[in-house]
Structure 1
Amino acid sequence: MINRWIIAGVIGCMALPVSASKKGEKEKEDSKKGQAIITIFSDFHTGFGTANDDRGFDLDRAYIGYQYSLPHGLQLKAVMDFGQSKEVGDYQRIGYVKNALVTWKHGNWTLNGGLISTTQFKTQEDFWGKRYIMKSFQDEYKFGSSADLAVSAAYRFNKYVSADVILANGEGYKKVQVKDGLQYGAGVSVMPVKGLILRAYGSFNEASEDGQKGITNLAAFAGYKHERFSVAAEYNYQTNASYTDGQDQSGVSAYATIKCNKNIGVFGRWDYLTSKNDWNLSDDGMAGVVGAEFKLGKYIKLAPNFRVWSPKQADLPNRFYGYLNASFSL
């Protein structure tokens, strides 16, 4: 009888490593998670008065991709972007690789490398949260690109302060290193109280040809988010736009949202863009947007909204539009 118990004990001890190994393998497999990325931005719009001839349906953007989370804080992500381009007819769409990157998170560090989202206005874009309706200020008025071939690092010192740096090509994701030159950027975010974020950012994009001037971007942002509402404002300044000496421009953007309930909210936004010595007078002016957002389940958003563009140039008329924007996202 004693021998039988001894034999059973030995077999049990031999089985433990095998069981533990299988459990470890299962936990390792469970930590691998893949997720498809499918996002579509579309709208129907119509102009009024002087803009009466501008109406129709539009497919603004389609993002298709996949991200895969690995053990030890690693994540792989690749996204294709299908959208409009100035280089082809208005009714055609061109596909670009928007993101193709590796992310590593460890402790307070976050590192990104590849074709990544830039840090120039990512905070403002996330806070605005309505990219399918209108791009954030710097993206809307071409102060910089939302993605580029780059490496970035972010570090959270504590729950109040974080900082980030980025080294990028400076050409954007549609022109992957066409010319020599790099873009250097750094930002600091401060969260002094719950819901409040303050951020300062600066970057310099090297000129790549004789006679050109490097581009400097500076931005300041403040936003407060409550469970029932959010409000934010940003100031943006750029020197030597398009690498041209003296082509400076600046602008402000303020936006707010109010949640009526978990599925319905209202929002408003006001932009003002101006250029030094009116070098960009035909594109300078004020933009206003007011509307409502309806969430139809988990994946669909609809946003009827009214817009006005008031150009700074005196001989250009104001333009008024009605939009119905839609977002479909997994």
Structure 2
Amino acid sequence: MKRAYLTFANNVSDDLSYKLTYDIGSNEDDSAYTAFLKVAMVKWKSRLGDISIGMQGMNMFKTMENTWGHRFIAKMPMDTYKFSPSADLGIGVTRSFGLVSTSALIMNGGGFKKAEMDSHKKLSFHAVYGEYKLNKKDGFNAGLSFSYEPYDKDSVTVENTSIMGLFGGYAGNGIRAGLEFDTKKNKDAKAQIISTYVTYRLSDKISLLGRLDMYDPDTSVGKDGVQDIIVGVMYNAEKGLTIAPTFRMFTREEGDGKNSVVINFQFVF
């Protein structure tokens, strides 16, 4: 078992709720199992929108993650290639305007596994037109994500990192598919991600899936990109239990690649 989530959630009233989530998995020091407090937030439904305070999920790729729908198989590209953490500490507001859903956050910027390292804050904005939970409902969506974070280049110089993502998705007739284009810019480099993913439901029990990620850490440098392909089958064995054997092919423009067969399990209770 590589990762487990333990979540506690409760509605205090019609307008106030809280949520706690522990993320249990490996860390950067190669510890097999370390528990991180990933979410510890209070949500208040106000006239301005839903206001969330505390450690909470980032808004940079949540809609795309819903379209992909298989977090237990692979993280989203922005998370994999360190464009954005999946959670951070701060305050945010979400509000819908008809078919347009928006989210704005002011965060520490270090993510949920690291303490804040400086006095700068990260600003992020997410907007989507259409159905933002394509893993739950049929429809389509299109939108963008943007974040801006200053950082100390040295003791006297402040630079900034900006990240932008454009995305779209569709679900219907047993097919769910998405496409995203992400960029990360600072003074030293411009990184880029192109990713597409699709799931085709053959029956209530069996689905086929595929995903292609193309990542370039610096578009001004040649032959430093990587490509990651995932294809597989998902089998819903019982309610709450999913088994997914996948084949993965990781290649570099220069250097050795890697092929592997991975069997993923998801148990939800």
Do the aligned residues in 2 keep the contact of 1:108 with 1:156 (CA within 8 Å)? Answer: no
Distance 2:151 2:92 in 1: 21
Amino acid at match of 1:220: L
Alignment of 1:58-137 (within 5 A): 59-86=1-28, 88-89=29-30, 92-105=32-45, 109-137=49-77
Q: Partners of 1:190 and 1:108 in 2: how far apart?
A: 19
Q: 1:126 is paired with a residue of what secondary structure?
A: helix
How does 1:1-330 map onto structure 2 within 5 Å? 59-86=1-28, 88-89=29-30, 92-105=32-45, 109-158=49-98, 160-191=99-130, 195-210=139-154, 211=157, 213-240=159-186, 245-274=187-216, 275-278=218-221, 281=224, 284-313=225-254, 316-330=255-269
Separation (CA, whole Å) in 1 of partners of 2:24 and 2:229: 27
Distance across 1 between alignment mates of 2:139 and 2:3: 30
Deviates more, 1:179-188 or 1:300-309: 179-188
What is the identity percentage for the equivalent residue pairs of Structure 1 and Structure 2? 24
Deviations 1:271-321 (A, max 9, x none): 10012333993xx311111101111222111101101011022xx133211
What does residue 21 of structure 1 align with? none
**Residues 180 and 208 of structure 1 are in contact (CA less than 8 Å); yes or no, is this contact kept in structure 2?**
no
Conserved? CA contact 1:268–1:290, under 8 Å: yes
Q: CA offset at residue 146 of structure 1?
A: 0.3
1:326/1:280 Cα in 2 relative to 1: closer, same or farther (>3 Å)?
farther
CA contact 2:223–2:253 (8 Å) conserved in 1: no
Q: TM-score, normalised by structure 1?
A: 0.74
Which amino acid is 2:148 matched to?
F
Shift of 1:232: 0.7
The aligned amino acid for 2:53 is G
For the structure 1 residues 123 and 180, does the alpha-carbon distance in structure 2 shift closer, same or farther, using more than 3 Å as the test? same
The alpha-carbon distance between structure 1 residues 246 and 186, as it changes in their structure 2 partners (threshold 3 A), is same
CA distance in 2, matches of 1:107, 1:189: 21
Higher share in helix: 1
Q: Is the 8 A contact 1:108 1:157 kept in 2?
A: no
RMSD after superposition: 1.9
Q: Distance in 2 between matches of 1:306 and 1:325?
A: 11
CA distance in 1, matches of 2:25, 2:223: 26
Deviation at 1:189, TM superposition (A): 1.0
Q: Which amino acid aligns with 1:64?
A: L
1:99-132: CA deviations, max 9, x gaps?
A: 0001123578222110000101111112111011
Change (3 A) 1:277 1:79: same
Render the CA deviation track for 1:125-165: whole Å, top value 9, x for unaligned: 1211101101011011111100000111111111x212221
Q: Tell me, which stretches of 5 or more residues in structure 1 are unaligned?
A: 1-58
1:77–1:99: 8 Å Cα contact kept in structure 2?
yes
Deviation at 1:329, TM superposition (A): 1.6
Q: How many residues align?
A: 260
Partner amino acid for 2:237?
Answer: L
Q: Distance in 2 between matches of 1:65 and 1:190?
A: 29
1:70 is displaced (CA, Å) by: 2.4
DSSP 3-state at the match of 1:174 = coil
Deviates more, 1:145-154 or 1:72-81: 72-81
Deviation at 1:251, TM superposition (A): 1.1
Q: Tell me: CA distance 1:185–1:280, structure 2 relative to 1, closer, same or farther (3 Å).
A: farther
1:318–1:166 distance in 2 versus 1, CA, 3 Å: same
Structure ranking higher in strand proportion = 2
Residue type at the aligned position of 1:177: E
